[in-house]
Structure 1
Amino acid sequence: MTGNELREAYLQFFAEKKGHLRLPSFSLIPQDDPTLLLIGAGMAPLKPFFTGKMKPPRTRVTTSQRCVRTGDIENVGRTARHQTYFEMLGNFSFGDYFKGEAIPWAWEFLTEVVELPKDKLWVTVYPDDDEAIEIWKSQPGFPQDHVVKLDDNFWEIGPGPCGPDSEIYIDLGPERGCGKPTCGVGCDCDRYLEIWNLVFTQYDRQEDGSYKDLAHKNIDTGCGLERLASVVQGKKTNFETDLLYPIIEYASKVSGVKYGEDEAKDVSLKVIADHARSMAIMIMDGILPSNEGRGYVLRRILRRAIRHGRMLGITGKFLEGAVDAVVEIYKDASDFGELVAKHDYIKKVISIEEDRFAATLNQGMDLLNKEIDELKAAGKKALPGEIGFRLYDTFGFPWELTEEILHEQGLDLDKDGFDKAMEEQRQRARAARAANIRVQVPDLSGIDVSKLAVDPEAKESKVVAIWKDGKLASEIHDGEEAGIILEKTPFYAEGGG
């Protein structure tokens, strides 16, 4: 099965065989949820249904949700599974079915639809969840000794709905393990891979730490599409599946670096693949590069990809071609029609950002490399915060990138010193703003805006309005500050300025 076929098989299984309403993926931009910067879990857009704030369109729902997480972005490319963008397959129940259905359906999908070997599957459960243990052991062909009790199998985030969970693992074989006698489910090595988590939301945690039974018990599951694809396709990492590898092939072709021959270069190829996919889908969902919020997440991802391209010897622009590879992967997939429709727009946004960062990267790298050489020569281990801030403030060089490059050289950034320099700059900026008189704009509601136009060829125009000091005026003289509105203007702040 391809990754796209796996997604479709999952959604069809729960929609057509198990009576779930199939919903398209929600946008990466959270709707009416100020607690989230980006959607990072399959259940996140469905929180109002779980909390009871909104009535769900149906009590059974299935989705393949687009997600972005950047909490451990430095691990991308260095491990088999870390990604910034991923898809989470999920089936959800809002007071409808519970463990007696969720467990058998997960077993049926994995063993009958995907045809994973039953003797390779393991599950973990909360130690006190005897009900889940009995249901698992009653599944056809389930190995009776493949149940592991773990205290960590309880999902809660403070007061509110919570409950035990059950994770499904697959044994990828001793050759993928650490070789320790204690190696087993839960080990940090790559032998036992978690592919699905079933959360049984059955309690309501009180402020005092006690638990009450929920009137309506819920099911929240999450199955990583890329992880499942790596198992089905027999790949050692998510990056070698058909959901990511075509982008690696593109980056390899552009850089002339062959994948699989140099571990450090492989990291850069995988970072480019992951980040190209993330940035394309973030822009598809309406996120644009900026200096704050989710726009900054996008900008950081994009600039990391450019830097790793330079590390591979790519000197020119290359990310537009990476977007082509992303679109090719998803062009026939459900929920990704907008990616195809916005193909050229996404490339344009990325091209502008790539141009903008090219000079910044070259200048910043030259200065940073010089500082690194001086630090090493002096036997020092940390870059002074004021130098890191100068890179950021003068050259626009992201501090996270400075810190990452330093870590690669065994050095640190004096973050306290950086933060102090940043706060001093903010105070100077506040003082400067306070010294400036804000431009006052008079009541302009009487102007017929239908007669105003943008004309790129305009060389002459009629002055429609003049104002000084917040009041409309009939004339303006040399040395005066004023605002004007023209009937026609060639000036247009495209793309936010």
Structure 2
Amino acid sequence: MKWTGLNDLREMFLSFFESKGHTRLPSFPLIPQGDKSLLLINSGMAPLKKYFLGQATPPNTRVTTCQKCIRTPDIERVGKTARHGTYFEMLGNFSFGDYFKDEATAWAWEFITKVLELPEDKLWISIYEEDDETFDVWTKKIGISPERIVRLGKEDNFWEHGSGPCGPCSEIYFDRGPEHGCGSPDCKVGCECDRFVEFWNLVFSQFDHDGNGHYERMEKPNIDTGMGLERLACIMQGVDNLFEVDTVQNIMKRISEIAHVTYGDNEKTDVSLRVITDHIRSTTFMIADGVSPSNEGRGYVLRRLLRRAARHGRLLNVHEPFLYKVVDTVVEENKAAYPELVEKADYIKKVVKNEEEAFNNTIGKGMDILMQLIDKASTDEIRTLSGAEAFKLYDTYGFPIDLTQEIVAEKGITVDVEEFEEYMREQRERARESHRAKAGSSWASEMLELPDMGTKFTGYETLVSDGKIQALLVDGKPADMATADQDIIVLLDETPFYTESGGQVSDKGILQGPHGVMRVKEMKKVPSGQIIHIGYVKEGTISNGEKITAKVDVNRRKSIMRNHTAAHLLQAALRNILGDHVHQAGQLVNKMAVRFDFTHFEPVSPVQLREIEKQINEKIMDCLPVLNYETDIDSARKKGAMALFSEKYGDRVRVVEIGDYSIELCGGTHVKNTGELGLFKIVSESSVAAGVRRIEAVTGLGFLYAVDKAQNDLMEASVVLKTTPAELSHRCEALLAELKDKDREIAILNSKLASGQLEKLFENIKRVDGVAIITANIGGAGIDALRLMGDKIKDHDPMACALLCGGDGEKQNFLCVVGPEAVKKGVHAGKIVKEAAAKTGGKGGGRPDSAMAGVGDPFLVDEAMALVEELVKVQIEK
């Protein structure tokens, strides 16, 4: 056993299993491909599920991989212990109905004892307690002493997840010696101490579980093994944890250099160093695989990790952006296995730096508020931060809940997570309702009875082709015939209809049969791989087995092709004008427009937008040829073809080449010549997420529609403002000046109104321990008028506490103000207004001296105001 670097261990493992007839596959992207059950790839087996479930055919029945993985359930423990991390690599060898236990165990033993030369007297084996078959394999065929095999229960050594393939496991452990143990005489494999390290898990998928306790032996069982690369490196390098492994330690050294601290000198700084080291590894790989920071999904995971790392940088007294400087070290340590990191390094650094800067812009004010909340919570008996306060920190200042929890926990304070989750549920429900309203309904069934066959796509060459119906479904079930107005699904042996992919929407059109016509509304590729036509019988009948003529809606397809080619021109122009950091982050191409999302960190200026338009229209006028062809992936890369970050490409790819201006990998449909686009016009530019911008543009007839609409809008606005299009801007300037004058008049009137009512408000006040209690319902007073009156009350009497109510139209609001002397006595405007609003069914809160809330039921306002005297009394007594 000799010291071996992590990168060498990876290559040794993969090469070993290649020598055993395995096909080495590159790591799949961290964004799951075609699997909505996972947010991020979290195991070596996860991207191979489709092969285990028979949904796709593997390139070989034997496969080996080193898979990038992200796991975040224990994110709050990362750094606090030396064990936990969010990013790791999983080595694995897999058999899809090929070899089984004999070979899996023999090769595992050969690799660790002959290749790695681990001493056999340091190795232990665990098996499932009822798995005598595996016991015999290890003892009789491999020659392991029975004394070195430990039987464990189903929870430890039987892998299953609901129904489906499952089976017993066998784990291999390394004994680090009694000095790493707990000292108990019962210390053995399975103990929670650090002595016995489980580093390789062999899963024997030999049963099919029906979910009700019945296990059927599979005719062709599978092998799924997993070995943590970092954990193996710890053993081979004789270190205690992953942060001391060579490649990880080099990343930590770079962070220590920036922060001017040394690992091992201080436990607090060690925690921060571990957090930053782990999180920058995770985020570098996530961004490289196409994840962008956002407030939901995997983008939120990325943002959490970056912000947690940035916050720990501040704990190390690094207050300026610094994480992006560490990316180069992460790339350097991993480029041997992941050369794409080198290509994307500049982009990764820009995303990281942009997110750091955005967080720095909000964290200062957010931390000030959080410190105030901590001070307030520290004086409360329950020492808890409310969910409403935590949600505001998240929603307004970008503090992930776990970051807030971590910070307040340092002061011995907890967060009301249940209340926070309630606010989050309300926000998500609002988002879902909005999505439902926009999305409508569409075919979504994945459980269709379809024959196992493919469909030849002819739509690159023609928009009309003959085919044969291979399957006909009515209401999702096989049928021989469908009649007029019935919704149906049809599977053809070949079709010119494009299926939505790469941002290009599906074709529409008709299937013309001998006895009827089907209107095709949508195309879809189902999980099992077939391409289906979804629509209804327009007239006559459609029967299974019939020969039909498939006709794509020509005008619609041509519009889509114009916009798709425009998307390629747009990306090239953006990179020319904004810089090479620009990459596609998403797109939608339909007959009306092209919507193109791209990586960029600031709004595109009007001057830049005009230059982009000009450059694209010049290429259109040049009538450049558009070549759309198939080639091998290596040839395409040599020609400089651009590819999507998150897309996984096979050996054969389609390339779209526009003169010498643009070359991209793309499976979509395109025009033959840029002149077919007519003209190109950008209609909007906006922000989608941090570091991602969106441009919407039109071509062809869409350009004419946009011009017509702009002219109509201009005419309508001119009519409303009683002017001409030529004078419209001058008229708008004059109106704005008038409005400013009126705003000043309104402010003066509000001031007079407030002053006029002030004396009346103080005529019949009550006092509680010297605090003047004022309540008033001022009908028609807007928020600005209420605030003005509140300020005058505080100026008039520093011992005043006033609850005012007013509103414009149907919406009413409470304002509570407390003078500075009353605040010193313990009177708190935020708490008073919260209680008062709750009486009416409203919500709100705020600072001790001023706070607002919404009114629920306006008929309960008087009852709410009646609470003020008692609330003040309770606060003063406390």
Shift of 1:417: 2.1
Structure 1 stretch displaced more, 142-151 or 447-456 = 447-456
Pair 1:117 & 2:119 matched:
yes
Pair 1:52 & 2:291 matched:
no
Shift of 1:229: 0.3
Shift of 1:85: 0.7
SS of alignment partner, residue 22 of structure 1 = strand
SS of alignment partner, residue 32 of structure 1 = coil
SS of alignment partner, residue 243 of structure 1 = helix
Residues 343 and 134 of structure 1, relative CA distance in 2, 3 Å threshold: same
Residues 217 and 348 of structure 1, relative CA distance in 2, 3 Å threshold: same
Cα distance in 1 between the residues matched to 2:380 and 2:560 = 68
Instruction: Give the equivalent residue in structure 2 for 1:132.
Output: 134
Instruction: Give the equivalent residue in structure 2 for 1:473.
Output: 712
Residues 480 and 329 of structure 1, relative CA distance in 2, 3 Å threshold: farther
Shift of 1:457: 7.7
SS of alignment partner, residue 201 of structure 2 = strand
SS of alignment partner, residue 122 of structure 1 = strand
Pair 1:456 & 2:608 matched:
yes
Instruction: Give the equivalent residue in structure 2 for 1:372.
Output: 374
Residues 56 and 433 of structure 1, relative CA distance in 2, 3 Å threshold: closer
Cα distance in 1 between the residues matched to 2:425 and 2:6 = 47
Equivalent AA in structure 2 for residue 203 of structure 1: F
- TM-score normalised to the size of structure 1? 0.88
What are the equivalent positions in structure 2 for 1:7-26 lying under 5 Å apart?
7-16=10-19, 18-26=20-28
Cα distance in 2 between the residues matched to 1:110 and 1:196 = 10
Equivalent AA in structure 1 for residue 278 of structure 2: D
Cα distance in 1 between the residues matched to 2:146 and 2:259 = 51
Q: Contact conserved, 2:386 with 2:415, CA < 8 A, in 1?
A: yes
Percent same amino acid among aligned pairs? 53
Q: Contact conserved, 2:202 with 2:224, CA < 8 A, in 1?
A: yes
Cα distance in 2 between the residues matched to 1:20 and 1:435 = 50
Cα distance in 2 between the residues matched to 1:231 and 1:305 = 28
Picking from 99, 102, 105, the partner of 2:101 is 99
Instruction: Give the equivalent residue in structure 2 for 1:166.
Output: 170
Residues 200 and 470 of structure 1, relative CA distance in 2, 3 Å threshold: farther
What are the equivalent positions in structure 2 for 1:279-358 lying under 5 Å apart?
279-331=283-335, 333-334=336-337, 336-358=338-360
Q: Contact conserved, 2:82 with 2:274, CA < 8 A, in 1?
A: no
Instruction: Give the equivalent residue in structure 2 for 1:208.
Output: 212
Picking from 385, 393, 396, the partner of 1:394 is 396
- Listed as ranges, the gaps of 5+ residues in structure 2 are 439-555, 575-606, 615-680, 684-702, 722-878
Instruction: Give the equivalent residue in structure 1 for 2:148.
Output: 146
Q: Contact conserved, 2:105 with 2:142, CA < 8 A, in 1?
A: no
Instruction: Give the equivalent residue in structure 2 for 1:487.
Output: none
Equivalent AA in structure 1 for residue 211 of structure 2: E
Q: Contact conserved, 2:69 with 2:88, CA < 8 A, in 1?
A: yes
Deviations 1:356-407 (A, max 9, x none): 0112222222211221122122333210111112212222222221122223
Residues 407 and 468 of structure 1, relative CA distance in 2, 3 Å threshold: farther
Cα distance in 1 between the residues matched to 2:22 and 2:243 = 31
Q: How large is the RMSD of aligned CA atoms in angstroms?
A: 3.1
Equivalent AA in structure 1 for residue 248 of structure 2: L
Instruction: Give the equivalent residue in structure 2 for 1:236.
Output: 240
Shift of 1:128: 1.2
Structure 1 stretch displaced more, 270-279 or 139-148 = 139-148
Shift of 1:447: 13
Residues 470 and 422 of structure 1, relative CA distance in 2, 3 Å threshold: farther
Cα distance in 1 between the residues matched to 2:169 and 2:47 = 20
Instruction: Give the equivalent residue in structure 2 for 1:484.
Output: none
Q: Contact conserved, 1:360 with 1:397, CA < 8 A, in 2?
A: no
Equivalent AA in structure 2 for residue 114 of structure 1: L
Equivalent AA in structure 2 for residue 281 of structure 1: F
Q: Contact conserved, 2:124 with 2:172, CA < 8 A, in 1?
A: yes
Cα distance in 1 between the residues matched to 2:397 and 2:58 = 49
Residues 479 and 89 of structure 1, relative CA distance in 2, 3 Å threshold: farther
SS of alignment partner, residue 608 of structure 2 = coil
Deviations 1:89-144 (A, max 9, x none): 00000111111111111111111111111101111100111121122224667343
Q: Contact conserved, 1:466 with 1:472, CA < 8 A, in 2?
A: no
Larger Rg: 2
Residues 340 and 129 of structure 1, relative CA distance in 2, 3 Å threshold: same
Cα distance in 2 between the residues matched to 1:327 and 1:67 = 17
Residues 415 and 139 of structure 1, relative CA distance in 2, 3 Å threshold: same
Q: Contact conserved, 1:466 with 1:473, CA < 8 A, in 2?
A: no
Picking from 223, 227, 231, the partner of 1:223 is 227
Picking from 259, 266, 271, the partner of 2:263 is 259
Cα distance in 1 between the residues matched to 2:244 and 2:81 = 12
Pair 1:385 & 2:537 matched:
no
Cα distance in 2 between the residues matched to 1:278 and 1:368 = 27
Equivalent AA in structure 1 for residue 295 of structure 2: N
Q: Contact conserved, 2:280 with 2:309, CA < 8 A, in 1?
A: yes
Q: Contact conserved, 1:198 with 1:220, CA < 8 A, in 2?
A: yes
Instruction: Give the equivalent residue in structure 2 for 1:2.
Output: 5
- Size of the aligned set, in residue pairs, is 472
Residues 447 and 156 of structure 1, relative CA distance in 2, 3 Å threshold: closer
Equivalent AA in structure 2 for residue 12 of structure 1: S
Deviations 1:464-484 (A, max 9, x none): 667699897273435979xxx
Cα distance in 1 between the residues matched to 2:67 and 2:720 = 56
Residues 203 and 377 of structure 1, relative CA distance in 2, 3 Å threshold: same
Cα distance in 1 between the residues matched to 2:62 and 2:318 = 49
- TM-score normalised to the size of structure 2? 0.51
Deviations 1:232-267 (A, max 9, x none): 011111110013111110111111111001122111
SS of alignment partner, residue 314 of structure 1 = coil
Instruction: Give the equivalent residue in structure 2 for 1:485.
Output: none
Equivalent AA in structure 1 for residue 8 of structure 2: E
Give the structure with the higher percent strand. Answer: 2
Q: Contact conserved, 1:70 with 1:84, CA < 8 A, in 2?
A: yes
